[in-house]
Chains A and B, each alone.
Chain A
Amino acid sequence: MKPPLVLTQKQLISGLSLILAALFLLSLFIGSNPIPLFQAAGDALLDTPSVIALIFTEIRLPRTLIALVTGATLGLCGAAMQGLLRNPLASPGLIGSASGAALGAVCMLYFGLSSAVPMALPAGGMIGALAATLLVYLLAGREAGTLTLILAGIAINAMALALISLLLNLAPSPYAVQEIVLWMMGSIANRSMDDFQIMLPGILLGWFLLMGTGRSLDALTLGEETATTMGFNLPQLRWRIFIAIALAVGSAVSITGAIGFIGLVVPHLLRPLVNHQPSRLLLASAIGGAILLLAADICVRLFPAGTDIKVGVITSLVGAPFFLYLIIKSRRSLL
């Protein structure tokens, strides 16, 4: 297949970064009430205690930052997973990492542990994500075809969802049951800088682990045997990527809930632009994921105040038709 656009990595990354920067700024401008943003930023920088500075630093900035790092995490992890499993449908959402993370976070939050130890929340997410990912991987087998992997993913997703719903029903808080939508669809509304700080360490560690895997993933496109003879340690690579995904997706989902389809769609859209090279796809997908989630979250905020639409509704509305398109396109190989 010929790439539709011939771009160097530098051009692609700078182009995507420009779009991301524009969306970042736009995201700060959009809220339920118009505020003079530059004055707000000025007040915040000069430590002038004003309400607009408060809205800027405590409401809009954390929301924008959380959307940015969560989107980047999902895009990056999707690209790494598709590279590792050499499977176009692998992604944190379909493989169960995200719903496993949500289950882990639910265990920690509703039964009081995370209010005593804040870091218990992302830790729960990490453990849940790792457990779900490993289960799917073991169920489907190492050389799993697309269909087997998806079926194993569906089983684990369904199991995690059922357990989340059970736990929320058993939770002491009367508000818990209504919050199942939040964990299934994901939301970034009303999060604070504290939440951002809680999710950041795991995410950064995960990114760091993933960024070094490019060359191994490139080699893996030639097949496992070839990659092994080239001197790449595949079991080590596998563990490294699974742990990185657990760290990053676990931390992100424990704050935002499972936001669907970003990890699936973004690597697909960008793959032709990086000449199908996994090492180039990683960074591009990270920026692409951040762009998609920021754009979706801006969309959510454009609805009139009081309509509490979850950001995952938008990403799924975009992602589900795309998923169908992928299925139709690869139907012959599935059958």
Chain B
Amino acid sequence: MRPLLITLLLLCLLSSQSAAQPPRVVSINLCTDQLLLMLAEPQQIASISYLALEPNSSFMAEQAKQHSINHAKAEELLTLKPDLILASEYSDRALISLLQKLGHQVETFPLPSSIEGIQGNITRMAQLLGQEERGQQLIKQMDQRLDKIARQQPAVRPKALFYQPNGYTSGENTLQNTALQLAGWRNLAAELGTQGYRAIDIETLLLAEPEQLFTSSYAPGSQSRAQQQLLHPALKRVTAGREMIEIDYKQWICGGPMVADAVEQLHQSLPK
């Protein structure tokens, strides 16, 4: 009798979960935190990662304040009794396999470098949360903003380059590359054959003669040699005195609908 009862109970639980909205969702990664905050009912969110509160990197820092946070440690996650755990493909492998071994549903999301990738992540997250309609709405809003910019492309695309501390730049297969192109810039790093995030030699940068440099500070106000490299006087001189333009880090550290903000900002900084 008892085993039957337990089986029945389990079945009930399982069916109620898959039916619609999982009631207790835990996210352990900044990128899934933000999509979760955008798509879920507040009651669905059991916990988000502590990074979601960090205003420089989290686009949803304000909304994140209402929720309890975790530090992606196995013990604290288990006490939350989650129905669904959200992680990034770069999250701690050992932690994820442990959680799965203990019978939890863990869904990992890739870091998208294209608009299609962002749409895919939103759709999948919305399905998992049982919030398909909100997902469609979010994608529609983002697409409308991007379409508007796509209709106002400049006749000649000016040359731009991303320059980050330690001389890192964003080449092909990066969100920055996608955003630059959508906004109407040429990305010199991609044209030079850079794949992903790579350091670019300063002489190579100067010889490419960018008209505008962009950067995104991870830790504004702090000092290091890596960050001082952005102040090299040659950088300002090669762009005819134009200051490097800062794009908020939180707009693309994770792929999400907020990339439209970055594209709009990049578009507005096109030379008039």
Contact = CB atoms under 8 A, between A and B. Distances in A.
A308 interface: yes
Interface in A88-113: 109-112
A175 B224 contact: yes
A170 to B, nearest CB: 12
A192 B225 contact: no
Contacts of B238: 51, 54
A179 B206 contact: no
Given A33-B204, A190-B232, A51 B225 contact: no
A32 B234 contact: no
B204 A173 contact: no
A115 interface: yes
A176 B222 CA distance: 9
A229 to B, nearest CB: 51
A204 interface: no
Contacts of A55: 203, 206-207, 234
Nearest to A53: B237
B157 interface: no
Interface string B200-228: 01111011010000000011011111110
A290 to B, nearest CB: 23
B165 interface: yes
Given A51-B207, A58-B234, A306 B201 contact: yes
Interface in A256-281: none
Given A173-B223, A174-B218, A51 B202 contact: no
Interface string A44-59: 0000000100110011
A248 to B, nearest CB: 21
Contact of A190 (B204, B221, B229): B229
A16 interface: no
A65 interface: no
A32 to B, nearest CB: 4
A interface residue count range (under 10 / 10 to 19 / 20 to 34 / 35 or more)? 20 to 34
B232 A175 contact: no
B192 to A, nearest CB: 11
Interface in B211-260: 218-219, 221-227, 229, 232-234, 237-238
B166 interface: yes
> Which one of B198, B199, B225 has the greatest number of beta carbons of chain A within 10 Å?
B225
A176 B219 CA distance: 11
B120 interface: no
A193 B237 CA distance: 13
B158 interface: no
Given A58-B233, A171-B222, A51 B209 contact: yes
Given A173-B224, A306-B198, A190 B167 contact: yes
A176 B218 CA distance: 13
Contact of A59 (B166, B203, B219, B227): B203
Interface in A22-56: 31-33, 35, 51, 54-55
A145 interface: no
A306 B204 CA distance: 11
A31 B203 CA distance: 8
A179 B226 contact: yes
A136 B221 CA distance: 37
The size bracket of the interface on B is 20 to 34
Question: Which applies to chain A's interface (DSSP): helix, strand, loop or mixed?
Answer: loop
B201 A171 contact: no
A257 to B, nearest CB: 9
Nearest to A172: B222
A54 B240 CA distance: 12
Contacts of A33: 201, 203-204, 207
B66 to A, nearest CB: 27
Contacts of A54: 206, 234, 237-238
A211 interface: no
Most chain B beta-carbon neighbours within 10 Å: one of A109, A112, A174, A175 = A175
Interface string B51-73: 00000000000000000000000
Interface in A146-197: 171-176, 178-179, 182, 190, 192-194
A305 interface: yes
B224 A109 contact: yes
A114 interface: yes
A194 B233 CA distance: 8
Contacts of A193: 233
B224 A179 contact: yes
B206 A59 contact: yes
A154 B203 CA distance: 39
A55 B232 CA distance: 12
Interface in A47-94: 51, 54-55, 58-59
Top 4 A-B residue pairs of the complex, sorted by shortest distance between their CB atoms: A173-B222, A58-B234, A175-B226, A173-B224
Given A35-B207, A175-B166, 4 more contacts: A51-B238, A55-B207, A109-B223, A173-B226
Interface of A: 31-33, 35, 51, 54-55, 58-59, 109-112, 114-115, 171-176, 178-179, 182, 190, 192-194, 305-306, 308
11 contacts: A35-B207, A54-B206, A58-B232, A58-B234, A59-B234, A110-B222, A112-B222, A173-B219, A182-B225, A192-B232, A192-B234
